[in-house]
C-alpha cells in the first residue's frame, strides 16, 4: 500500500510543479486559480459549493473571493432561492482570463498525458475514481467517528 500512496503523492506533486510555474504567468495564486477554474464553464455557484469542490474552507474562501472580486474577476450575487446564500460567478473579465489561461495550460500539459496510451489513461481514470470514492467513504467514517 505504501508504494501506491507514494506514487499518488509524487504524481500529484509533479502535476502541481508543472502547473504552478505555468499558472503564475496569470498573476493568480494557486488557490485563486483553483477558484477560477472551478467557476469556469458554470453559471456560478455558492460559497458552500466552492468549498466542497476545493480544499478551501469557508473562512479562507471569503478572503480568496475578496481578492478576486477586488481584481474584477468574480462577482457576488444574492441567491434567489436562499437568503443565506451568496452566488459567486466569473465576470466577463474573469471569463476572458479563464479562457486565456486554462486552455494554454491544458495544451502545455497535454504531451505528458498523451504519452500514456489511450487505454492507460482510461485505466488510470477508472482506478483513481475507485480510490477516490473509497477515500471519501473513509472521511465520512471518520466524521461519524471512525
Partner DNA sequence: TATTGTTATACTCTATAACTATA
Partner DNA sequence: TATAGTTATAGAGTATAACAATA
Binding stretches for DNA (CB under 7 A) = 20, 24, 29-32, 46-48, 51, 55-65, 67, 76, 79, 82-87
Q: Which is nearer to a copy of itself, 8 or 77 (CB)?
A: 8
Least Cβ distance, residue 33 to DNA (angstroms): 8
Task: Concatenate the DSSP letters of all residues of the chain into one string.
Answer: -HHHHHHHHHHHHHHHHHHHHHHGGGT--HHHHHHHHHHTTSS-EEHHHHHHHSS--HHHHHHHHHHHHHTTSEEEEE-SS-TT-EEEEE-HHHHHHHHHHHHHHHHHHHHHHHTS-HHHHHHHHHHHHHHHHHHHHHHHHHHTT-
Least Cβ distance, residue 144 to DNA (angstroms): 13
Q: Which is nearer to a copy of itself, 58 or 138 (CB)?
A: 138
Instruction: Tell me which of 81, 134, 144, 145 binds a copy of itself, using CB under 8 A.
Output: 134
> In the stretch 15-54, what mask flags binding to a copy of itself with x, by CB under 8 A?
xxxx--xx-------------------------------x
Amino acid at each position: 500500500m505504501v508504494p501506491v500512496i507514494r506514487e499518488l503523492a509524487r504524481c500529484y506533486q509533479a502535476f502541481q510543479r508543472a502547473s504552478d510555474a505555468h499558472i503564475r504567468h496569470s498573476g493568480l495564486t494557486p488557490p485563486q486559480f483553483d477558484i477560477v477554474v472551478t467557476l469556469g464553464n458554470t453559471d456560478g455557484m455558492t460559497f458552500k459549493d466552492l468549498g466542497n469542490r476545493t480544499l478551501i474552507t469557508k473562512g479562507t474562501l471569503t478572503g480568496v473571493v475578496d481578492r478576486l472580486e477586488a481584481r474584477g474577476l468574480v462577482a457576488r450575487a444574492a441567491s434567489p432561492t436562499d437568503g443565506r446564500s451568496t452566488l459567486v460567478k466569473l465576470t466577463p473579465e474573469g471569463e476572458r482570463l479563464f479562457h486565456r489561461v486554462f486552455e494554454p495550460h491544458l495544451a502545455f500539459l497535454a504531451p505528458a498525458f498523451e504519452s500514456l496510451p489511450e487505454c492507460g489513461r482510461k485505466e488510470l481514470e477508472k482506478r483513481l475514481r475507485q480510490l477516490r470514492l473509497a477515500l471519501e467513504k473513509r472521511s465520512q467514517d471518520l466524521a461519524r467517528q471512525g
